[in-house]
Structure 1
Amino acid sequence: MTTATREAPNHRSFTCYTDYKCRRPDCVTRYNERNNARRQAQKNGTWDRLIDAAPVREHLLHLQANQVGPGAVAYTTGLSIQTILEFTQTRPNKGRGRRQRTSPEMAAKILAVTVDNHQRGRVPAIGTVRRIQALVAAGWPLRQIAEHAGLSSANASELLRRTTIFAATAKAIAATYEDLKGKRPLRNGVDKGQAKRARNWAARNRWATCTYWTERMDVIDDPDFIPEDTKLRAEIIAEEAHWLMSVGGLDRDQAAARLGVARFTVDRALREHPQDQAVNASQQALAA
């Protein structure tokens, strides 16, 4: 499968247009604005052509050898972690090698970072952890979440155990969360088995869902806020669904709509809390 037939990992750079043939209106606008600015600069005689990226790569490797990683460079320069990694790492799964050319402006930003002046920019990890957990609960495997954010699966797994992370990493996960929370995994490259395993993992750990956080985004990054027990929430959903079906005469789809949750959430809650086997059996027959 070529990049032209795959969904772009993000829509924050020109590669989604050039490499993945993305034609979202906002991505097309961003690409056109960049090209228009380039053509105008060429007309004015102020256009700086791309330059060799080797000095930037050597500088990044020097920083890395002195314990200044890509996260710190990204935070200091305002560039994404993935942009920094492109100078030193190949991406064979996308058919891309290390970046060989770069703009003078980007090179200047990176070369200006030193062992002494870099900013680590660590922030509490709680909001990042909660966003990852919620996406997993929605059926997104950790590997796809990490890839979308420009991280490795190992890094994403490690984030779940961290108390502080780089601000640039938190920003990448936040952008990933906003992009994926409204999408269905099965329609975006995730097979049914992967999605089920992800949801089961989240259920075992009682991770809050994207739906839960929708009305609580003001506290998702607050370490002092403790989400209600999602198992208790499942019990409440089951109790209310039983009542709607037995007294209100609704089927499972109608009960889910009334409760404002997905059908599979009602199914799972009823399996975990079978309060009335007779109602369960009749409604399952009706849904069959």
Structure 2
Amino acid sequence: MKISGIPRSSLFTLLSGKRAGPAEKIWESTAARLLAVPIPGAPHQVAAASDLMPAVGAIRRLQSLVAAGWPMSTLSRECGMGESGVSEVIRTRPELITVDKHRRVAAVFARLQLEPGPSSRARNHGRKMHWPLPFQWDESDLDSRGATMAAPRRRATRAAA
């Protein structure tokens, strides 16, 4: 309603009708305004920062960055979670986090996912925990509970001569 500029009362009338159900016809200008509203790729893109959402995507992003060599303390600072915020999220695996926290984690992931981290200790911990690397996830599936990581790429072998 705010994005389209159409008053709430007009949207209510459009959806519920004045007498017997939804309206069958609308003004062309109203239709154009409704159709001009962009549809977000994910609900968290339009949710309020304090709303809650599933934490699974944030947890996967953080684990894969650790597996790529990024220390949890560095990620905590980068995400604005204090010194031990990332280890707390990974350790407790909460069902829900705030949309704001998810956005911060996603932004850090987008920035660091292609860079190897500086810590072999973090990388070894990720390997020990069997956490996938960032490129092993299909980004469009990271927030989906049922997602599985992409098949790891095999190294090319030399053909027999």
- TM class, shorter-length: 0.5 to 0.7
2:80 aligned with 1:156: no
What are the ranges of 5 or more consecutive residues in structure 1 without an aligned counterpart?
1-74, 79-119, 187-194, 250-288
Task: Compute the displacement of 1:184 (Å).
Answer: 3.7
Q: Which residue of 2 aligns with 1:200?
A: 124
2:114 and 2:149 map into 1 onto residues whose CA distance is 21
Alignment partner, residue 131 of structure 1: 61
Relative to structure 1, is the Cα distance of residues 121 and 198 closer, same or farther in structure 2, using a 3 angstrom cutoff? same
Aligned to 2:134: 210
Q: CA deviation at 1:220?
A: 0.6
Distance 1:151 1:227, change over 3 A: same
SS in 1 for 2:94: coil
How far apart, CA to CA, are the structure 1 residues paired with 2:124 and 2:113? 18
Residues paired across the two proteins, number? 113
Greater RCO (CA < 8 Å, at least 6 residues apart): 2
Larger radius of gyration: 1
The residue type equivalent to 1:128 in the other structure is A
Which sections of structure 2, spanning at least 5 residues, go unmatched?
Answer: 1-46
Query: What amino acid maps onto 2:89 in structure 1?
Result: L
Q: CA deviation at 1:167?
A: 0.8
Q: Would you say 1:182 and 2:106 are equivalent positions?
A: no
Q: CA deviation at 1:248?
A: 4.9
Taking structure 1 as reference, are residues 122 and 200 closer, same or farther at Cα in structure 2, changes over 3 Å only? same
Greater fraction helix: 1
Shift, 1:154, TM fit: 2.2
SS at match of 1:185: coil
Tell me the distance in 1 between the aligned counterparts of 2:133 and 2:124. Answer: 12
For residues 172-194 of structure 1, the C-alpha deviation after alignment (integer angstroms, 9 at most, x for no partner) is 000011111123433xxxxxxxx
What's 1:147 paired with?
A: 77
The percent identity for this pair of structures is 26
TM-score in terms of structure 1 length: 0.36
Counterparts of 1:248 and 1:170 in 2: how far apart (Å)?
Answer: 49
Deviations 1:138-195 (A, max 9, x none): 1100111111111123221121121211110000000011111123433xxxxxxxx1
Q: 1:248 to 1:180 in 2, by over 3 A?
A: farther
Shift of 1:226: 2.8
CA contact (8 A) 1:134 1:210 kept: yes
2:72–2:84 CA contact under 8 A, matched in 1? no
1:248/1:144 CA distance change after superposition, 3 Å: farther
SS state of the match for residue 147, structure 1? Answer: helix
